[in-house]
Amino acid sequence: MTRTLRYVDAIREALDEELARDESVYLAGQDVGDFGGNFGETRDLQEKYGTDRVRDTPLSEIGIAGHALGAAVGGLRPVAQLQFADFVATAGDETFNQIPKMPYISGGDLEAPLTLFAPSGAGIASGAQHSQSVHAWLGNVPGWVVVTATTPYDAKGLLKSAIRDDNPVAFFFHKYLTSTEGEVPDEEYTLPLGEAVVEQPGDDVTVVATQLMYHRAVEAAEELSDISVEVISPRTFSPLDVETIGASVEKTGRLVVVDETPLQYGVQGYVVDRLVEEQFFDFDGPPETVGVEDVPIPFSPPLEDEVLPSVAEIADAIRSQFGVPY
């Protein structure tokens, strides 16, 4: 059986179930308690589990990330929440240089089963320092598992798996999608990390997209009634499920990669590079990439709309695979 849940409610339900299931799990971050998180994702959890397991912290991102590493090495499973994904830079030494390297530099003697949990993405006019999609940042650092949740179903199942995983996992939910709704099973479930999913089957072109860009890609595909578009959500960018994407490209011969990161040194280019390198002769033409313009995300809503990939831009990129110019 399924029911309709909002994306943010699916996140809160995952946290609730994991706190109830495993006493080594706890949640810590700024305003996760009485305030309930910026988007209501932790609402009522402190009242239910107490201040030891749902802990408000000082405004110190490096402290939030650093304490989580110590707790994880000591045998707990912390979920460390940052108010915005952009703030992984504020906790830079911990997120880039300590957490992902701890299992390696200890020769495997120390595990770091922690989840770094944060809202990412643009679309609500939060300004340049609060609107970035940063999964490419951590995807570039060996040691992190990097998860992007696209639907309420994804958000719940992937977050539960992230909390249970013995590796450091960065779980990014998209702030613009928090009020969107989707079907979520009544029964217990998890989703495997490192596996992409074909959300919409098609025969003519493969489109890889996640989070807000996935929804825009689906809308673009619906507008192109003469083109059969296969839409794949990678779910995780590290590790990237090249096999699922590759099987689709083998069938369609065409690839468009859409992501809410800048094109400059972006996720899009990495996905294309992996596919072209491994199965060049499956392509009927050059792949296409769509991403954020190479500028900071503007605060102004019209300018923000201008730099984010639109449904029309994605549709144009799909058409270009068939020799139709922009």
Is there a domain that residue 223 lies in?
yes
CATH of the domain at 50: 3.40.50.970
Residue 180 near residue 5 (C-beta atoms within 8 A): no
Active site residue 135: no
Range of the domain at 248: 197-320
Helix or strand holding residue 172 (H, E): strand 169-174
Q: Residue 298 gets which letter from DSSP? A: P
If one compares 150 and 323, the residue with the highest pLDDT of the two is 150
151 and 249 together in one domain = no
265 vs 200: CA distance, rounded Å: 28
What's the pTM value of the predicted model, to 2 decimals? 0.96
160 and 244 together in one domain = no
Tell which of 158, 185, 212 closes a domain.
185
Query: 139 pLDDT exceeds 70?
Result: yes
Question: Looking only at Cα atoms, what is the longest distance across the chain?
Answer: 60
Catalytic residue, candidates 67, 130, 135, 174: 130
Query: 324 pLDDT exceeds 80?
Result: no
Query: 170 pLDDT exceeds 80?
Result: yes
Percentage of residues in the chain with pLDDT exceeding 70?
Answer: 99
226 and 153 together in one domain = no
Query: 313 pLDDT exceeds 80?
Result: yes
Q: How many domains does the chain have?
A: 2
Which structure tokens are listed for 211? 């989070």
Which pLDDT does position 293 carry in this prediction?
A: 85
Q: How many alpha carbons fall within 13 Å on the CB side of residue 238? A: 22
Is there a domain that residue 191 lies in?
no
Residue 183: band (very low, low, confident or very high) from pLDDT cuts 50, 70, 90: very high
Is there a domain that residue 192 lies in?
no
Q: How many alpha carbons fall within 13 Å on the CB side of residue 304? A: 18
Q: Which residue has the tokens 């499920």?
A: 241
Is there a domain that residue 291 lies in?
yes
108 and 22 together in one domain = yes
Which structure tokens are listed for 43? 């609402």
Among 165, 163, 186, 150, CA closest to 81: 163
Helices within 224-310 (DSSP H only): 242-252, 267-279, 301-307
151 vs 231: CA distance, rounded Å: 14
71 and 170 together in one domain = yes
Is there a domain that residue 102 lies in?
yes
Residue 166: band (very low, low, confident or very high) from pLDDT cuts 50, 70, 90: very high
316 and 289 together in one domain = yes
pLDDT, tens digit (0-9, with 9 covering 90-100), for 12-27: 999 999 999 999 999 9
Is there a domain that residue 303 lies in?
yes
Tell which of 185, 219, 251 closes a domain.
185
Q: In the predicted model, what is the mean pLDDT of the chain?
A: 96
Tell which of 185, 217, 236 closes a domain.
185
CATH of the domain at 249: 3.40.50.920
Among 246, 305, 256, CA closest to 280: 246
207 and 165 together in one domain = no
By DSSP bridging, strand 169-174 and strand 115-120 are: parallel
Strands, E assignment, 175-234: 181-185, 197-200, 205-208, 229-233
52 and 113 together in one domain = yes
Is there a domain that residue 126 lies in?
yes
Adjacency order of strands within the sheet including 229-233: 197-200, 229-233, 205-208, 255-262, 288-292
177 and 75 together in one domain = yes
What backbone phi and psi angles, to 5 degrees, belong to 47? Answer: -60, -35
Adjacency order of strands within the sheet including 145-149: 54-56, 25-29, 77-81, 115-120, 169-174, 145-149, 236-238
142 and 283 together in one domain = no
34 and 120 together in one domain = yes
DSSP per residue, 26-80: EEEETT-STT--TTSTTTTHHHHH-TTTEEE--S-HHHHHHHHHHHHHTT-EEEE
